[in-house]
Structure 1
């Protein structure tokens, strides 16, 4: 049985297999995990630093800054365009993605909610329509300037594949659906994780100090971290893993479809059932993690001092439908996090309301942070 949908996120069967294989291959061909992609992210790091230092008293809202940077990385990668943060078209894109996320949170995650009269449905439809039109315009621009001998970005390569493959599995509708998913997931997931990272550094300043001490010891103060330094930062990497476990940026994984009748743990799951993995429950299961409600990066450091990653850590979901942008997201978060902590110490602003204590699977509310430049 196949679910037919637009883009890699909604498709199933052969259509999904074809899109996933194409997307992963294109990511490699466009240089993910290579210096060019890292340089793209570092450019946005510099812009974030400018944004922070231009704010009064270096106090800023992570919710306002991080989506701009993560959106620009995805725009550069997907359709070959980097925007100034003040650009009206860019601001429309970032705000649309944020409103869609807020509407989705208000409606609920389970499929049954689409049949219920929940708040936000009308606004969600409007924002999805506007975002689709924005992406259609970008795709149309690419078609008008398309050079099959010199594709520049993900959209160009997708258009070339549509024209050359002839198998009918890659279509214009699938192009729009996949680009929508890449923008939406790429912006939201990374910006949420960075917000969670700053929140944890404010709440656990001793961890922040240990990360900064490790960065200084390994690379000093004369240069910024790069991806090839990663293996030399065991505590920093363990901290990033703990942020992923502790916060579970995605509380639930993508929907799966049972392809046959099956029994699991005494429950009968009929063919055609929709299944949704509960990532937060796995990450906070006391049978797997000791003191799961405590923030302890050291849980990911083995006796030999190296980083260990248990199979139960699944922030990008599990199974064949794991996030295709996982490797891209890891690079973005590593570069942003290490650059910011190398440059600043983050504290909670004096005189502000107490830092909200987020328990359970609730998302972090908006908060302010003060960035103190490090000498």
Structure 2
């Protein structure tokens, strides 16, 4: 397959790119920094592998993603894409990371970066001849687009706050993002909204920050620990995106989460047990709000979302439980032994 990825240098994009390249697919990165492509993929460790090895593998050099310049005034990405036509799929992962304090400027950038990248991508695909366009667009989203309220919220200490606030900022962003991406249907593209949960990966995202307090013997329940977390291992993120690439019946929302969500308290206790550290120091909700502002809602609110679409299609999760994910992510990588002398 020939797959175009916008936002390929991020956590999910790097791991997806590596998986596709290792299976012999052609990957084109829409990027503002064409020199970054090979270096970014090499920096991404293979998902869920115990061994560490270079991107070139055991001596045989493998091609990296093909960089295609975009989002610049003089860029003509359609020329490069036509040279590799026909395309099979486009994956849209572009957008400013959501970590950090959500100031008004940060919130504006989170929203506008996603809407602009999506609009530019669709304009680019529209300029291609119909026979050169991809058959499917997989556009990133988040479980907040669904905005479920966990059962505990009805009786938990923040129930009144949840009811009063209604739609959260991130839910509003993801819904507008999906609306923008949905315009791909007018181009004849099968459109999938990959609604990501909290991604667990060694090399980035929320997981290293979640684990750090336990490594420092300072871990404990966050905001009471009752909030549900719809988490997913990075290997299954890649697997579910590839399911959407390959299965033409996947259309609309695809919830990219593990089949066994867990509460913050259960995850914390599992991390503590795996690292042989105490689970003792509580972090109250008001302290999170002081430190993180509105972004603290991601830790205080609960999201219990199941991957119904994947389960209905028989997808076999590599890491279905928190315990299996932690066994992989918190085990030290084993260095690959070299060839015999």
Q: TM-score, normalised by structure 2?
A: 0.28
Highest RCO, 1 vs 2 (Cα 8 Å, sep ≥ 6): 1
- Greater fraction strand: 2
Q: TM-score, normalised by structure 1?
A: 0.26
